[in-house]
Amino acid sequence: MGLTVSKNIGSAVARNRVKRRLRHILRDVQLQPAMDYVIIARKSIIDADHSTLLEWMERAVSELANV
């Protein structure tokens, strides 16, 4: 799994916060062991709450599992 957060997100503090939040969310999502994941953070992640992030991530992983 790879995480990428560009400078468009904000300062180093904001980017690190986003990375921490994503890592925390990924602990609760069932990832397929045979797949590689690359997550690219967008600006909408800054204002999203925990439940929204979890919903987005679960939906994305389930869509990838069906491909």
Task: Tell me which amino acid residue 28 is.
Answer: D
pLDDT, average across residues 6-35: 92
**The pair of three-digit structure tokens given for residue 8, joined into one six-digit string:** 């468009």
Structural domain boundaries in the chain: 2-57
The model carries a pTM of: 0.82
> 48-61, pLDDT tens digit by residue?
999 999 999 999 98
Q: Tokens 């990924």 — which residue?
A: 26
CA angle 50, 51, 56 (to 5 degrees): 100
